[in-house]
Structure 1
C-alpha cells in the first residue's frame, strides 16, 4: 500500500487529481459563469487597467515562495527547525515584494499614463505577502498528499472571491471589483491553508539549514521570474503600443485561454511531480509518466478548445455580450500554441524538478522567454493584437520540440514518441473544426444554434477519440493507479 510521509495510507493518483481538478474546475466554471455578469458591469478599459496592475503583481507573486516550497517537498525527512527557518526566509521575501509593489506603483502609473494604477497596486501589494506566508504550510499539506483538503480550501476561496467580485461589480465599484477578487483570493486562501496545515512556526532561524535549498530555489526562482516576464511582456507591449481597448480584449482572451492550464494541467502537474519525485532514479519510468499524462491531457483539452475557438464569435457574444465579440479571433489565433505549451512544457518541468536538473529548466525558460518577447513585441509594434495572438501560437509550436530535446539530456525521451502521443487528439480536433466550419457555412445558424452544433460535434468527436485510443488510454490510466 502507498504510504504518505506521515505514515498514513496515501490516496491514489486519481483521487488526488480528482480532488484538485474538481476544485480548479469549480473555480474555472465559476469564472465562466461570473464573467458574463462582471463583463456587463465593467468596461473594456477597466479590464485593461487591471491587466496593467496585475503585470506587476503576477511577477511578484511567482517570486513569493522563492522556489523553496517545492524544495521542502523533496526533503527525505521532516526537520521542524529546517522548515521554520525556510518559513521565516519566505516571510522576509513576502514583505520585500509588498514593499517593492508600493515603490513601483508611481513609476508604473507614469509608464502607462494611468494615475489610477497607484492605489490599485497599493491594495494588491498584500497578495504576494500572503502567498509567501502560505508556502511552507502548503508544502507540508502536499507532503502529506492531503489534496482533498487543499481542494476544499480552494473551493471556499473561490466562492468568497467571486461572490465579492460580482457583488461589487453590480454595485458599480468598477475595477475595484476585480481588485477585491484578487485580494480576497490571497487572504482567504492563506487562512484556509494555515488552518489545514500541521506546520506551526516558532522563533527559530538557522541559516545553515536553509542553504541546502538555495540552489534548487535559485533555479526555480529564475524559471518563475523568466516565465512571469515572458507572459507579462504581451500585456506591457499591447498596453503601451496598441492602447487600452486592445489590451482589454487581450486580457479577456487570456482569462479564458488560461483556464485549461489552471483548471486541469496545473493540478495534474502538481500530483505528477510528486509521482516523479518518487521515481527520480528511474528515467524510463519518468518518461512513461510524462507521456501518459500528456496523452490524457491532450485527449481532454485539444477537442474542447478547438471547438471553442471555431465557434468563438458565437460563444463570446452569447456569454459576454456583443461588445466582447472581438475576443474570439484573439482566442482562436493564440490557443493552439498555448495549449501545446501547457500540455507539453508544464508537464516537462516536472521531470526537470524531479531529477534536480532545474538548470535545464532555466535554460528552456530563458530561450522560451527570448523567443516569445521578440515575436510578441515585434507583432505589437508592426501590426496589433491579432498579430500578437498569432505570434503566441508560433512561439508555442516552436518551443515544445526544444523542450523535448533538452529533456533528452536526463531521460530517454523520444521526439517521435511525443508526437505520436499528440497525433490522434490533434488530427481529430482539426477534423472537428472543419466539420463545424462546413456546417456553419451551409446552415448559417444563429449564435445559440452554432454553439449547439459545436457541442454536438465535440461530443461525437470525444467519443470517437476515446474509441480510437482506447488501448493507449487504458495504458496511460494504468500508469497512475496505486501500485
Structure 2
C-alpha cells in the first residue's frame, strides 16, 4: 500500500469513525438529556451499578481475539468462525453465573431491586457476543461507514423506547430497556449490513493463535475494566446511589469528547499502524502525528468542558444535578490523557508485545490503589483529585516501552502535547469567570462557547501550531472535496 493511499484510507476511517461518535453518541446524548430531566440521580445510580458488571464481563466475552485478528496479516473464515463460536460460549457461561450471583449484588449494595435489574441487563452479554465478530471484520477493513449506520439506527430507536417508558412512569426500567434495545438493534443492523454469517465451527489452530496473542490482552482488559469500575463500586457502596448517579452523569459528559476520541483513535490507528508495522521509521512518524493532532482536539475540548461545567449542566439537565457539575472539571482533567494512553497501548499491540501490555496493566493498578483508598477514607473529591496525579504516573508507565523501542519517550510526548494544553488552559481561563455574570445559565453558556472558540482560533493562528495547521488543512480539503 502506498503512503498516500494509506493516509487517505486513514482520513476516511477517522471521518466515518468520528461520524459514528457524533451521530450515534450524539443521539444518545440528546436522549440522555431528556431522561435526566425525567428520572432521578438515584435511578441513574441503580443502572450504574448494573453496568459495572456488564462492562467487566463484556471484556471477558471478547477474550482479546478481536485485536489478535486485526493485527494478523491474513485472516481466514476459519478464524472468524472460531472467534464467533468461542465468544458465544463464553457469553452464555458468564450470563448464567451473573444470574445466579444477582442476589449477592443486591445484598452488597443494600438494594433489593438490583436482583431483577442485574439479571435483565445481563442479557447484554449475549447480544454483545453476537456483534463482536461483525465489528472485528469491519474494523479490519477500516469500514466504519457500516458501523456508523448501525450506531445511528440503534441510538434513535432505543432512545424513543427509553423516553416513552420514562414518560409512562417505568423509572429505572426505562434505562434498562434503552440499554438492551440499543445493543439488540445495533447487532441486528450489523448482521444485515455486513452480510457475514457464521458456520458455528471451531478450529483448534485458529484458537491457538488468537489465544496465544489474546490471553494477555484478556487479562489486561479484565484487570482494567474491574479497576475502572472500582470507582463506581466505592461510590455506590460507601456513599449513596444518588451520589453514584451524579458521578455517572458527570463521567458521561466527560466521555463525550475523551472516550469517543479515544475510541476513534483506537479503532483507526490500530489497523492502520498494523499495516506498516514492518516500517519502523514510517510508523514512528505516523505515531507522533496521531498523538499531536488527537491531543490538540482532546485537550482543548476537555479542559474547556470543565471550565463551563456549571452553566452546561444547569442548562441541559437542571440544577438538581449541581453535584455532577462540581465533579465534571476534575474528571475532565483526568480523562484528557485517555487518548494518549490508548495510542501508547496500541503501539504495544502493533509490536506484538501483549506481555508488556499485561505487565503494565498490573503495575498501573498498583498505582491506582492510591485514589481508591483515598476515596474510601477521605471522600470522592479527594479521590478525583488524586486520580489526576496517578494519570500522569500511568502515562509514564505506558510510554516506557515505546520510548525504549521507538525512541519516543515520555518527555518527548509531553513536549509534543504542551502546545495543546497551553491553548486549552488559556481558553479555560478566558471563559471560566463568565459564570459569575448575572444572566440566565443558557446565555452564560453561549457567551462562554463563543469566547472560547474565538480565543482558541486567535492563539492557534498567531502561534502557528503544527497540529492546528494539520487539522485545519484536513478540514479545508474535506470541504473542498464536498463542494
- Normalised to the residue count of structure 2, the TM-score between the two structures is 0.92
> Does residue 458 in structure 1 map to residue 458 in structure 2?
no
Deviation at 1:478, TM superposition (A): 8.9
The range that moved more, 277-286 or 149-158, is 277-286
Structure 2 CA distance for aligned equivalents of residues 431 and 151 of structure 1: 34
Q: Deviations over 1:59-114 (max 9, x none)?
A: 01122211111212223223222321222111111111221221221111111111
Structure 2 CA distance for aligned equivalents of residues 268 and 225 of structure 1: 21
Alignment-derived partner of residue 380 in structure 1: 375
Q: Deviations over 1:390-419 (max 9, x none)?
A: 122222122112211232243221333211
Alignment-derived partner of residue 436 in structure 1: 431
> Does structure 2 conserve the Cα–Cα contact (< 8 Å) formed by 1:157 and 1:188?
yes
Structure 2 CA distance for aligned equivalents of residues 95 and 271 of structure 1: 30
Note the 1:48-87 alignment, pairs <5 A.
48-87=45-84
Deviation at 1:477, TM superposition (A): 8.7
Deviation at 1:431, TM superposition (A): 1.6
Q: Deviations over 1:346-393 (max 9, x none)?
A: 111210111111112212222222222x22322222222222221222
Change (3 A) 1:177 1:137: same
Structure 2 CA distance for aligned equivalents of residues 445 and 303 of structure 1: 25
> Does structure 1 conserve the Cα–Cα contact (< 8 Å) formed by 2:230 and 2:372?
yes
| SS in structure 1 of the partner of residue 407 of structure 2 | coil
Structure 1 CA distance for aligned equivalents of residues 410 and 221 of structure 2: 26
Match of 2:275 among 278, 291, 297: 278
Alignment-derived partner of residue 350 in structure 1: 346
Change (3 A) 1:364 1:74: same
Alignment-derived partner of residue 164 in structure 1: 161
Match of 2:286 among 281, 289, 292: 289
Pairwise CA RMSD of aligned residues? 2.4
> Does structure 2 conserve the Cα–Cα contact (< 8 Å) formed by 1:52 and 1:235?
yes
Structure 1 CA distance for aligned equivalents of residues 451 and 225 of structure 2: 36
Alignment-derived partner of residue 100 in structure 2: 103
Structure 1 CA distance for aligned equivalents of residues 232 and 362 of structure 2: 19
Q: Deviations over 1:245-301 (max 9, x none)?
A: 221111111111222233222122211111110121233333322221121222212
Structure 2 CA distance for aligned equivalents of residues 73 and 466 of structure 1: 36
The range that moved more, 185-194 or 195-204, is 195-204
Deviation at 1:153, TM superposition (A): 0.9
> Does structure 2 conserve the Cα–Cα contact (< 8 Å) formed by 1:97 and 1:129?
no
Match of 1:471 among 466, 474, 480: 466
Alignment-derived partner of residue 332 in structure 2: 335
| SS in structure 1 of the partner of residue 61 of structure 2 | coil
> Does structure 2 conserve the Cα–Cα contact (< 8 Å) formed by 1:242 and 1:384?
no
Structure 2 CA distance for aligned equivalents of residues 11 and 220 of structure 1: 30
> Does structure 2 conserve the Cα–Cα contact (< 8 Å) formed by 1:313 and 1:326?
no
| SS in structure 2 of the partner of residue 408 of structure 1 | helix
> Does structure 2 conserve the Cα–Cα contact (< 8 Å) formed by 1:306 and 1:433?
yes
> Does structure 2 conserve the Cα–Cα contact (< 8 Å) formed by 1:283 and 1:410?
no
Unaligned stretches of 5+ residues in structure 2: 478-483
Alignment-derived partner of residue 317 in structure 1: 314
Alignment-derived partner of residue 30 in structure 1: 27
> Does structure 2 conserve the Cα–Cα contact (< 8 Å) formed by 1:229 and 1:369?
no
Deviation at 1:238, TM superposition (A): 0.9
Match of 1:113 among 96, 99, 110: 110
Q: Deviations over 1:111-167 (max 9, x none)?
A: 111111111111112212222222222222222222111111111111122222212
Change (3 A) 1:304 1:361: same
Unaligned stretches of 5+ residues in structure 1: none
Alignment-derived partner of residue 368 in structure 1: 364
| SS in structure 1 of the partner of residue 336 of structure 2 | helix
> Does structure 2 conserve the Cα–Cα contact (< 8 Å) formed by 1:292 and 1:476?
no
